[in-house]
Amino acid sequence: MASLFAVLRVLLLILFTLLLLPFHLLLLLFAPKSANKSACLWHIVSSWTLGVRTKVSGRPQPGPVLYLCNHVSWLDIIILSRAAPLSFVAKADVAAWPVFSWLAKWQRTIFVERERRSKTAVAIDAMVERLESHDALVLFPEGTSSEGWGILPFKSALIGAVVATAARLEDQHDVDLFVQPVALAYTHLKGIALGRMEADRAAWIGDVDLVPHLWSVITTGGLQAHIVFGDPVEVNPDTNRKILAKQMEAEVLKQLEQARKPGRQHSKTNGSL
């Protein structure tokens, strides 16, 4: 029965996508920033399809901003995208993923080949251009996903894009540029707190195939995620990207630990999606 309801939800999502697609494509051509808003709407519907509820603490800083978030799963794309209109900086491999490559292009994702340093400069230039146009970008500075109970060391190379942008915007005194730490935790499954033994219910790690994991999430349902937006930090041309990376790593870890504290799910938040 769970599989039947899952199929029906997927069919409804496909129908909604076909209805939204012409409008979204027009926005991509003539008003790219507004296209992120229609993508946000799509992700709200898709999270219903997946049976995922999301709580939000704090407020996303409007662009120009670089959100620095821990990375747990392919689900992160949907959860974060429904919280605010934004685009991602993603590894080039995502461009070959089924379904998600299409979603990434919907949101004007910047693809980067992390293994090739010569390509990092190209990605940084693209990020600078987007931040200059006051976009909101999401970077997963760990460079890969983890089980979601801790974080991996933040890599600072791509964070340098926000410092480079600050130098270009220095003469625009009315424009403030920020980085914002964001923690994302998958906290409950069907109302029961998730433990490390159940991490694979949400986390996508190791050699797990994407499509079976996606289908497992859809048929199981009942996941609850918690996004915590920390305090934005203003960036200027003198900001040291390595120090900034360490600072943001510590902030995200602290927020992640807070998101998992018992009773946190019933604390005051700025919204429940």
d(CA 238, CA 127): 18
Q: What pLDDT is stored for residue 116 in this prediction?
A: 67
Predicted confidence (pLDDT) at residue 118 exceeds the cutoff of 80: no
Give me the number of domains the chain comprises: 1
The pLDDT-based confidence of 115 (bands split at 50, 70, 90) is low
User: Predicted confidence band at 240 (pLDDT cuts at 50, 70, 90)?
Assistant: very high
Which CATH number characterizes residue 211's domain?
Answer: 3.40.1130
Going by C-beta distance under 8 Å and a sequence separation of 6 or more, which residues neighbour residue 67?
60, 61, 80, 86, 136, 137, 138, 139, 179, 180, 182
pLDDT of residue 251: 97
Element spanning 234, H or E: strand 233-234
CB-based contacts of 269, cutoff 8 Å, min separation 6: 55, 56, 57
User: Tell me, what's the pLDDT at 101?
Assistant: 80
Give the closest residue to 88 by CA, choosing from 36, 20, 12.
36
Q: Residue 194 sits in which domain range? A: 2-272
Rounded to two decimals, the pTM is: 0.88
Q: Average pLDDT, stretch 116-141?
A: 88
Q: Do the beta carbons of residue 154 and residue 148 sit within 8 Å? A: no
Evaluate if residue 270 carries a pLDDT over 60. no
Residue 191 is classified by DSSP as T
77, two tokens? 């794309």
What percentage of the chain reaches a pLDDT higher than 70?
90
Note the pLDDT tens digit of each residue in 168-216.
887 776 678 999 999 999 999 998 888 877 777 788 776 678 788 888 8
Distance CA 266, CA 140 (A): 27
Residues 6+ apart with CB under 8 A from 16: 42, 45
Note whether 138 and 77 are within 8 A (CB): no
Mean pLDDT, the chain, rounded, equals: 87
113 against 273, higher pLDDT? 113
- List pLDDT tens digits, range 31-45: 988 888 899 999 999
